[in-house]
Structures are given as structure tokens and as C-alpha cells.
Amino acid sequence: MPEFTILITDWARDEARLSSIRRAVFIDEQGVPEDLEWDADDAGAMHLLALDGAGQAIGCARLLPDGHIGRMAVLPARRGRGVGRALLATAVEAARLHGHTMLHLSAQTHAADFYARAGFVAIGAEYEEAGIPHIAMQKRLP
């Protein structure tokens, strides 16, 4: 049985599973205000859901129609096992298949090296979002 799989989904189909991960990581763990976590972009985004071997949701991400990757989260007990790398790689490949040539994201500064290892480059100065330091990053697709 594989340790995890990545499912491409949408908000209408998997809101409960996606929101449970984001609530656990962003709201409960990191203290992001609830009114900042939920936005209108969820409805039109492609969502990625990481499921463990038993089908339980353990991570998520979203890809917006304009090429922004965001809301990447992995439950604490599942970190360090390649779930985040797989979510990001799946998002990048989905963007490529949809014709994107440039991807953008807003990385929490502690995670900037993670994105840099995947080919993202920091642009601009550090800024604060939801009380957490971030840096804008981008990646050009061939």
C-alpha cells in the first residue's frame, strides 16, 4: 500500500477534507485569523489533496487560474515524508499542462528553501501576511 497519493480535485467535491487540513495547519497551528484563511478563490481553483494509504487527508494545495500556487499545508505528523514535494510537483505539472509559463507563490520565509529546491526564485522584499513573514517567489516553466 503506498504511503500517500495525490488527488486532483475541486472545492465543491472536497471542501470538508481540504478545509480540515487548512484549519489544522493555518488557523490552529499558525494562528492565521479564520476570516483571512477562507476566500473566494477556493471555488475556482484546482485543489490538490494528499491522502494516506487509508484514504485520510494529510495535505493540500491549490492552483489558481492565474498560475498562483498557495494554501500548501501538510499535517504535522506527516511532514518530512515527501508529501509537500509531491503536492508542489503535482501543482507545477498541472500548471504546465494548463499552459502556464510562469508560476507565483507567497512563501512563508521559513519555507523559502523548500520552494527554492523546486526551482522557485525569491523576488522582492520580505513582507508580512496574516502576521507571518513571507517572500514572493516565482518559477519560469519551459
| Chain segment 42-98, per-residue pLDDT in tens | 999 999 999 999 999 999 999 999 999 999 999 999 999 999 999 999 999 999 999
Domain ranges for the chain? 4-140
Fill in the amino acid letter for 135: I
User: Can you give the pLDDT at residue 142?
Assistant: 86
Q: What are phi and psi of 112, to 5 degrees?
A: -60, -40
| Chain segment 94-131, per-residue pLDDT in tens | 999 999 999 999 999 999 999 999 999 999 999 999 99
Report the half-sphere exposure of 89 (CA within 13 A, side-chain side): 9
DSSP string covering 10-46, please?
A: -HHHHHHHHHHHHIIIIIIIT---HHHH--THHHHSE
Nine-digit cell string for 34 = 479564520
Q: 141: buried, middle or exposed (CB in 10 Å: 19+, 13-18, 0-12)?
A: middle
pLDDT-derived band at 28, boundaries 50, 70, 90: very high
Q: What are phi and psi of 120, to 5 degrees?
A: -85, 145
| Chain segment 12-25, per-residue pLDDT in tens | 999 999 999 999 99
Alpha-carbon span 4 to 59, nearest angstrom = 10
Tell how strand 57-63 and strand 68-74 pair up.
Answer: antiparallel
Question: What pTM value is reported for the model?
Answer: 0.94
Tell whether domain 4-140 is in CATH 3.40.50.300. Answer: no
What lies within 8 Å, CB to CB, of 140 at 6+ separation is 101, 102
Q: Does the pLDDT value for residue 136 go beyond 60? A: yes
User: Can you give the pLDDT at residue 2?
Assistant: 63
